[in-house]
Amino acid sequence: MNTLQVLAIGLGLAGYYALVAVGFALIFATLRIFHIAHGTVFITGGYAFFLLHRVQGFGLILSGLLAIAAAALLGLAIDKAVYLPVLRRGGGLFSVFIASLGVSLIVEAGFLAYTKGVVSVARTDMLDILNAGPVAVRTLDLAVLAIVAVLYGLLYLWLHRTKVGLEVRGLTDNGSLAAVVGVNVDRTRTHIFLLASALAGIAGVLTAYDMGINPDSGSRTLFVAVVAVILGGLRNLLLGTLIGSVALGILTAYAGFFFPEWVTFGVFVTMILLILVRPQGLFG
């Protein structure tokens, strides 16, 4: 059994989950919004990249940046156009969740109509691989890990060294108190959605380049990210999400190797068990 190869695959997947999960966790921790539509932000980044790079032929970096921007703007638009109106009219967090489902339906329908459900892969060339004995690792995998490390590092600095980051942490700890103390919740909210959505967009771009995406990829990746967040807990957001993502990456890789037809089953049984047994996560 090629354990090392499966492990390598798992770590690669963990990178994508980590990028999606941390954005989701930020939004949930600070605003208590279960942003299911985060999955559609992810695929929007991926499709935008596919359209710009593969279909229109723009350069790699330019397509990537534009796609990330598109994802960030979509995320922000969802909050401003859907979540805020629901909240302002007396809807609670569950209503926001349902509205988020609604957004997912609309965005996915759009991509379904456009792509007819066919997977969109943003490259034709083969990736460079490094063979280390029985394990083949793609240079892309190493790049993803590096990107995640850098971004998490920057996130840490942002949360702990900047004023906005301080305000965000304030919201995490106590939302209503933060507002009383003078935190500009609206502006902080904008920052949070832009940042989280950009991160999801980056994950989307990388995934589209790597294995391709289809309209289902959004919900699939999102739910794994949700389980990663539940596992890691919200107390120590960055560390918890990172560990949760690595755990889920390895779990899904092994599941994919041993019983590929039961991966979804496995992910959701894990989620239900976590909710029942330890909803506060590892560090809560």
Partner 1 sequence: MRSNRTRHLFVALASVAVLFAASVGPRDAAGQTPAGEPYKIGVTYPLSGPQGAWGQLLVPAMEIAVQHVNQAGGVSGRPLSLVIEDTKGNPEGAVSAMRKVVQVDRVAAILTIFTNVVSAQMPLADQLKVPLISPVEAPGLVAKSEWAFAHSPLLTRTLPLVSARWQRDKVKRLFAFFPNTPIAKFGSAIVKAEADKLGLQYEETLFKLGDTDFRGLITRAKNFNPDAIFIFGHGTPDEGVIMKQTRELGMNTQMYNGCACVTVKSYREAAGKAAEGVIYAGFKYDVGAARKLIDAYRGKLGFDPDYAGLEVYDMVFMIAEAIRKYGYGGDGIRRGLTEIKDFKSIGGGLVSMDKDRQSVVAVGLYQVKDVVKPEFVEISP
Partner 2 sequence: MEHLLYIGSLMCVWIIVSLAVNLVIGYAGMMAMGHAAYLGVGAYTAASLNIFLGVDYFSAMVIAALSGAVVAVLTLLPLLRLSGFYFALATLGLNFVFFDLFHNLAPRVEGSEGLHGLKLPALLTTADTRFMTTLVITAACILVATHLVGSPFGRLLRATRDRPEAVSAVGKNPTTCQVVVWGVSGALTGLAGALYAATLFYIDPTLFTLNASILMLVFVGVGGLASIAGSILGPVLLIAFTESLRFIGLPSQLLGPVQQGLYGALLIGLMIFRRQGLVGKHDFHE
Interface contacts to partner 1, rule CB under 8 A: 1-2, 5-6, 9, 13, 112-113, 115-119, 121, 123-127, 129, 131, 134, 136, 138, 207, 211-214, 216-217, 253-258, 260-261, 263
* Residue 233 structure tokens: 């807990």
Among 16, 17, 24, 34, binds partner 2 (CB under 8 A): 34
Minimum Å distance from CB 277 to partner 2? Answer: 10
Minimum Å distance from CB 98 to partner 2? Answer: 5
Looking at residue 213, its amino acid is I
136 by DSSP, 3-state: which? strand
Q: How far is CA 38 from the centre of its chain?
A: 7
Pick the closer one to partner 1 by CB: 172 or 217.
217
Distance CA 251, CA 227 (A): 11
Among 109, 127, 132, 177, binds partner 2 (CB under 8 A): 109
Minimum Å distance from CB 184 to partner 2? Answer: 24
137's enclosing H/E stretch is: strand 135-138
Residue 214's binding partner among partner 1, partner 2, none (Cβ under 5 to 8 angstroms by kind) is partner 1
Site for partner 2 in 83-102 (CB under 8 A): 85-86, 89-99, 101-102
Minimum Å distance from CB 97 to partner 2? Answer: 7
* Residue 111 structure tokens: 């991509």
Question: Any contact of residue 157 with partner 2 (CB under 8 A)?
Answer: no
Residue 145's binding partner among partner 1, partner 2, none (Cβ under 5 to 8 angstroms by kind) is none
Contacts of 122 by beta carbon, 8 Å cutoff, 6+ apart: 46, 49, 50, 53, 54, 205, 208, 209, 212
Pick the closer one to partner 1 by CB: 56 or 261.
261
Distance CA 17, CA 39 (A): 11
Question: Any contact of residue 219 with partner 2 (CB under 8 A)?
Answer: yes
Minimum Å distance from CB 159 to partner 2? Answer: 25
Looking at residue 99, its amino acid is A
Please list the residues that pair with 136 across neighbouring strands. 131
Site for partner 2 in 248-277 (CB under 8 A): 261-262, 264-265, 267-269, 271-272, 275-276
Contacts of 133 by beta carbon, 8 Å cutoff, 6+ apart: 4
Give the footprint of partner 2 on this chain (CB under 8 A): 34, 82, 85-86, 89-99, 101-110, 112-113, 116, 219, 223, 261-262, 264-265, 267-269, 271-272, 275-276, 279
